[in-house]
Amino acid sequence: MLNRILLLLFLILPNTAPARIILIVGDSLSAAWGIPVEQGWVSLLQERLETGGYPYQVVNASISGDTTANARARLPRALDSHKPSVVLLELGGNDGLRGLSLAEMKSNLGAMISSAHEAGAKILLVGVQLPPNYGPRYTERFQAVYSELAREREVTLLPSLVDGIGTEQNLMQPDGIHPNSVAQPLIRDRVWKELEPLLD
């Protein structure tokens, strides 16, 4: 009789297992700078997970203006607090815009990948692009950091968050750096293509 009651309770009670965490560590491109937060691609990603029945909760630890050095310093605490299953790293834009050392940028991102791996998380590395006025030599070297890291660390790479978006005026905010709300579903879909295979 007791076994029958327990079985019935198991069948009728909702699944209360805690959701797995997707931790997003990025800059203004992921922090919905200049637009309502609910219109940003991160919020739209959470909606996609919920409608698809994926047992994941997105934690957005992105900070506008963040460099890879700042993010590296705060990542251990975020990993310890949230214990994510997946970590999405979208950083480097502010390093590039400030002309900071690309070697240090690569070292910082590499250290973050190592920390996330040691915490048991899968990694999605997301590249960004610099405006063309920084010159082809620097921008090519900048972009190469992401592909080198993905190859050396064997992590999934989305080469650019805004490829094909940054050159479309109707998809960008007046500053020419941040995508507007119209572009956010496109970014969400781009991220989803690489993220979905990492979800158990």
Query: How sure is the predictor about 93, in pLDDT bands with cuts at 50, 70 and 90?
Result: very high
Query: How sure is the predictor about 8, in pLDDT bands with cuts at 50, 70 and 90?
Result: very low
Q: What are 147-196's pLDDT values in tens digits?
A: 999 999 999 999 999 999 988 999 999 999 999 999 999 999 999 999 99
Task: Give residues with Cβ within 8 angstroms of 77, minimum separation 6.
Answer: none
What phi, psi does 14 have (nearest 5°)? -65, 155
Q: Which residues are catalytic?
A: 28, 175, 178
Residue 15: the pLDDT is: 52
Residues in the chain: 200
Q: What are 104-124's pLDDT values in tens digits?
A: 999 999 999 999 999 999 999
Superfamily of domain 18-198: SGNH hydrolase (3.40.50.1110)
The structure tokens listed for 18 are: 């805690």
Q: Are 145 and 109 in contact (CB under 8 A)?
A: yes
Q: In the chain, what are the domain boundaries?
A: 18-198
Return the residue matching tokens 């970014």. 187
Residue 16: the pLDDT is: 55
